[in-house]
Amino acid sequence: MADFTSDFWHWYIAIISVISILACVWLLRWMTSGFIKKDEVEDTGHVWDGDLTELNNPLPRWWLGLFYITIVFSGFYLLLYPGLGTFAGILDWTSQGQYEEEVAKTEAEVGPLFERYQQTAILDLIKDENALKVGERLYANYCTTCHGSDARGARGYPNLRDGAWLWGGDPENIKATIMHGRQAAMPAWEGPLGGESGVDEVAQYLLSLSGRATIAELAEKGKAKYEVFCIACHGPTGTGNIALGAPNLTDDIWLYGGSLTRISQSIAKGRNGKMPPHAEFLGEAKVHLLAAYVYGLSQER
Nearest to 218 by CA among 233, 231, 207: 207
The segment with the largest mean pLDDT, out of 8-17, 32-41, 270-279, is 270-279
Summarize the confidence of residues 153-160 as an average pLDDT.
95
pLDDT tens digits, 186-217: 999 999 999 999 999 999 999 999 999 999 99
Rounded to whole angstroms, how far apart are CA atoms 235 and 248? 9
Q: Does residue 168 surpass a pLDDT of 70?
A: yes
Provide the pLDDT confidence category of residue 1 given band limits of 50, 70 and 90: very low
Domains of the chain (ranges, CATH numbers): 7-80 (no CATH), 103-181+276-298 (1.10.760.10), 185-275 (1.10.760.10)
Q: To the nearest whole number, what is the mean pLDDT of the chain? A: 91
Average pLDDT over residues 237-253: 95
- The SS3 assignment for 36 reads coil
pLDDT score recorded for residue 28: 87
Q: Which residues pair with 241 in a beta bridge?
A: 246
